[in-house]
C-alpha cells in the first residue's frame, strides 16, 4: 500500500493534483491512502516551499506544479 500526501493550501492546482492521483491510482488498481495536508507547519516538515507537492511513503516526489500524467504513472512503479 502506498501512502500518498498532497501538500498545499487547497488551491485549484492542489485539488486537480488530488483528483489526478486518485483517478490514475484507482485505474491501475493500486492500493493507496491519500491525504490532503493543508497545515503549513506539516508542509514545512518536508522542506517544501512551492505547492502543490506530492509525498509518497514520506519521500517528496514532486513539487511546485500539477504533475503530468506520465509522472504520476511512474510513481506506481516505485
- H/E stretch holding 35 reads strand 32-37
pLDDT of residue 24: 95
pLDDT of residue 76: 84
pLDDT digits (tens, 9 = 90+) for 11-51: 999 999 999 999 999 999 989 999 999 999 999 999 999 99
Which CATH architecture best describes the domain 2-77? 3-Layer(aba) Sandwich (3.40)
Catalytic residues: 11, 14
pLDDT digits (tens, 9 = 90+) for 48-65: 999 999 999 999 999 999
The C-alpha cell 506544479 sits at 65
Rounded to 5 degrees, φ, ψ at 6 are -110, 120
pLDDT of residue 13: 96
pLDDT of residue 77: 78
Q: With 80 as the cut, is the pLDDT of residue 66 above it? A: yes
Kindly list the domain boundaries of the chain, sorted by start residue: 2-77
Strand order in the sheet with 53-56: 32-37, 2-7, 53-56, 59-63
Amino acid at each position: 500500500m502506498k501512502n500518498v500526501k498532497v501538500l498545499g493550501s487547497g488551491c485549484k492546482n492542489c485539488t486537480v493534483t488530488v483528483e489526478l492521483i486518485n483517478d490514475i491510482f484507482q485505474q491501475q488498481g493500486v492500493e493507496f491512502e491519500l491525504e490532503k495536508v493543508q497545515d503549513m507547519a506539516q508542509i514545512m516538515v518536508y522542506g517544501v516551499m512551492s505547492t502543490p507537492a506530492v509525498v509518497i511513503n514520506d519521500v517528496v516526489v514532486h513539487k511546485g506544479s500539477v504533475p503530468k500524467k506520465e509522472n504520476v504513472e511512474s510513481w506506481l512503479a516505485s
